[in-house]
Structure 1
Amino acid sequence: MPTLKPLFDFVLDVLRIWKGDARAKAALLCITGGIGMLSQSIWMPVIQVVAVRVTGRTDIVTDMPLWLSVPLGGGLIATGLWLLSRVYGNQAAKPASTLIAIRHQSQEALGSQLTAGDLPASLGNAAILPLDVDQSSFYLDGRVHDVAGAVRVQERLRSKVEGMVVAHPGAEVAYYGIAHIPFAFLAGAELSTKPRIQLFELDRGSGRWRWVDAVAPGDDLGVTTAAQDSGEGTRDVAIRIAVSFPVPEADVAEALGRPFHDRLITVAAPARDIIHTTAQIEAVCKAFDRVLDELHNNLPKDVRVHVFYAGPVSLAFSLGRRVTRTIHHRIRVHNFEGRSTPKYAWSLDVSGGLLPQAMVERPVVGSGAATAAAE
């Protein structure tokens, strides 16, 4: 039995486009006007009755002659549909036949899979081909006890995705899950050359996967950057990225235990669940690009870059995709554990070229200073 879901999804996508595209506004106005002209027999008598009752006159409203209303209304509808196809068609005119859905889990046993009901209209006809990255067996008592072992699970992610794309030409790729931030960064860095990846976030209310809208611009989050340099000879840079929560400088100082240059990327009001569109993700990623390029242009190559991030997994994955391993400094992403001391209990080098054991560092606290030790 056919359902109204495709039509419902289409309307939702149109409404998303309406918010950010003037052509969509014009299209819907044309279609509405055209339908109005072609349906005079329905609404014109109502207007005439109201006009007679209010004014007592019968000559205020007159029907538009059919020879004028039909071509004019039809022309408006055709124009509107053409404009709408120019906007909507770029996103939804050619649905993917296959969606390679990467489900990344490291904090708990694998959650629910992406389903057809979670997909937007542009992907609604796609056959979902799951690819699980399950590191949850290394997560015990609220902590990852073998980070290097967890890294080995996702070592061949890129080759697996490439193999599936070759086997399914034209397939789209999606990423979703509940993963530790360093693992999400690393996954993004591994897939940095894939042109487009659809993103999904967990909806806390429904427990389902919510598409990160690739059409609408979303609210302006007020992304800003700030820089504060330490003295000469400082060999560490901390990039604090605050989206869901602030990232206190004191927590970074506790984790590093030595002087560092500070770079802050923040939204105007950090809060949970504020990322809804890829345009919002792109705004944060561009700020990250500028910071990495500034460091590349102005600091020696042996300076160590540390990322301290508070935000959604989809954005962490996207930031990882901006790491250019052949150009940028080596980048180490730190993981927050509120019950540990220091709060950033371990970090992961996401720049490639290292064995899993060498990628992992845990701070060793002593004499008031933290020093790094390989796991």
Structure 2
Amino acid sequence: MEKIDLKGFLKRIFSGFFEKKIVWLLITSGIALTMYGIFPDVWRILAIQLLNAFYNLSLNETPEKISWGLRLFLTATGAALIVSGLWFYFKTRENIKLKKLLQIAHSSIESVEYSKFDVDLDNYEVEQYRIAQGEELKTLSKVNLSHALREQGKIKEKILQRADGRDNVEASYWGLAHIPLTFLMGYQIADKLSTSFFEWNQNSLSWNRVKDNNTEYPELLVSRQLNQSFEDVEDVVIKIGITYQVEDVTLNGLGLEGRDSYYLHLPSPTRNAIVSVRQLNEYQAVFRKTMDEINQYYPSLKRVHVFYSGQPSLAYRLGSCLSPRMDKEILVYNYHSTSEPKYNWSINMKKEWNEVAIHVTGETI
């Protein structure tokens, strides 16, 4: 079970809360005193009428004379409170910021804007790191894929350098990129940064944060098709069906027919299935447990072939739990419905000191 950072959670909830309350109290009190000092009779009569109406009283509404000295004092005091509230707001505005938020704006499928989202990020200083690979991937070739990977690698290095040795930095992944590229980003950043996730909402055309809540979600099931003698197996298939089912027929043409396969899937795959951070954690744990099972079961294993249908946030998280020490070579495939084979290119998961291998099986993305 993942350790809960209660201190960090409470800090996120209450940071800036009391400062905002103090500002609100100073300004509203100042406005009330100032208005009473300028229009004392109006406020007194209004208050008496409200008391008489709600409590059936018969208080006298005849105005009482208030000295000019008292009115000036109330007005000056109110103005001072308003000024103090504004001063306190601007004085504490920078101090209440929690962290630097490194926004990883990753797109290769289509161009999107990142200005519309569903949460308040005022408590963060947002630094955007944009990885735009759409132009490179308009035409499929090893040259274009290599260029896209180099550009992604450069931005990844900037992110890691920015976060190195700093405990006030958080990453946030806003992904609408091809699945192999998303897996690779998660794999290379891994646990070096605490990362939140935003998913693109096609209906509202905005980014929705994957929230830390208790929303119910379906169990991730594991089905196994073990057809081979385990001693001789060198290649194993992992299919992951979150948004859509991953059918065996879509793997035709890759030379993987009859291989032992593990199918991680929802009972009824659906769009927008990821609803909470807790769900991401649990599904990642199921995937990691499956990888451990494969590593232990096949003594001659050389490669694991991953076919994924799901949201970018989970693809990133699954990539982040892969290990260069424990796992064999991991190849992640890209799906395109009109290509033959359907999975028309793949890359293997490599850290920054190794070159990523590109394998093109089709002609179009």
| Contact map agreement 1:108 1:139 (CA 8 A) in 2 | no
> What is the letter of the counterpart of residue 217 of structure 2?
D
Which residue is equivalent to 1:119?
119
**How far does residue 159 in structure 1 lie from its aligned partner after superposition?**
2.5
SS in 1 for 2:135: helix
SS in 1 for 2:180: helix
> What is the letter of the counterpart of residue 173 of structure 2?
Y
| Contact map agreement 2:217 2:275 (CA 8 A) in 1 | no
Which residue is equivalent to 1:184?
182
Which residue is equivalent to 1:260?
259
| CA deviation profile, 1:154-194 (whole Å, cap 9, x unmatched) | 12344211222249750211011210000000000011122
- The residue correspondences of 1:1-375 to structure 2 (distance < 5 A) are 96-109=98-111, 111-114=112-115, 118-120=118-120, 123-140=121-138, 146-166=144-164, 170-214=168-212, 216-232=213-229, 233-300=232-299, 302-352=301-351, 354-356=354-356, 359-363=357-361
Change in CA separation of 1:323 and 1:166 when aligned onto 2, cut-off 3 Å: closer
> What is the letter of the counterpart of residue 304 of structure 1?
R
RMSD: 2.7
> What is the letter of the counterpart of residue 265 of structure 1?
L
> What is the letter of the counterpart of residue 293 of structure 1?
D
CA distance in 1 between partners of 2:271 and 2:137 (Å): 23
| Contact map agreement 1:235 1:260 (CA 8 A) in 2 | no
CA distance in 2 between partners of 1:237 and 1:351 (Å): 18
SS in 2 for 1:154: helix
Of 223-232 and 293-302, deviating more is: 293-302
> What is the letter of the counterpart of residue 194 of structure 1?
K
Of 161-170 and 125-134, deviating more is: 161-170
| Contact map agreement 1:185 1:317 (CA 8 A) in 2 | yes
SS in 1 for 2:131: strand
**How far does residue 363 in structure 1 lie from its aligned partner after superposition?**
3.0
SS in 2 for 1:201: strand
| Contact map agreement 1:177 1:313 (CA 8 A) in 2 | yes
Change in CA separation of 1:231 and 1:302 when aligned onto 2, cut-off 3 Å: closer
| CA deviation profile, 1:85-135 (whole Å, cap 9, x unmatched) | xxxxxxxxx8623211000111233x21255x5335xx4411211011121
Higher-Rg member (1/2): 2
SS in 2 for 1:316: helix
**How far does residue 205 in structure 1 lie from its aligned partner after superposition?**
1.1
**How far does residue 267 in structure 1 lie from its aligned partner after superposition?**
1.0
Number of residue pairs matched?
269
Change in CA separation of 1:257 and 1:296 when aligned onto 2, cut-off 3 Å: closer
| Contact map agreement 1:101 1:114 (CA 8 A) in 2 | no
| Contact map agreement 2:180 2:346 (CA 8 A) in 1 | yes
CA distance in 2 between partners of 1:228 and 1:167 (Å): 45
Q: TM-score, normalised by structure 1?
A: 0.66
Change in CA separation of 1:362 and 1:258 when aligned onto 2, cut-off 3 Å: farther
Q: TM-score, normalised by structure 2?
A: 0.68
SS in 1 for 2:174: strand
CA distance in 1 between partners of 2:214 and 2:263 (Å): 24
| Contact map agreement 1:157 1:187 (CA 8 A) in 2 | no
| % identical equivalent positions | 24
Change in CA separation of 1:307 and 1:287 when aligned onto 2, cut-off 3 Å: same
| Contact map agreement 1:157 1:190 (CA 8 A) in 2 | no
**How far does residue 221 in structure 1 lie from its aligned partner after superposition?**
1.2
Structure 1: stretches of 5+ with no match in the other structure: 1-9, 11-41, 47-93, 366-375
CA distance in 1 between partners of 2:107 and 2:248 (Å): 29
Change in CA separation of 1:114 and 1:301 when aligned onto 2, cut-off 3 Å: farther
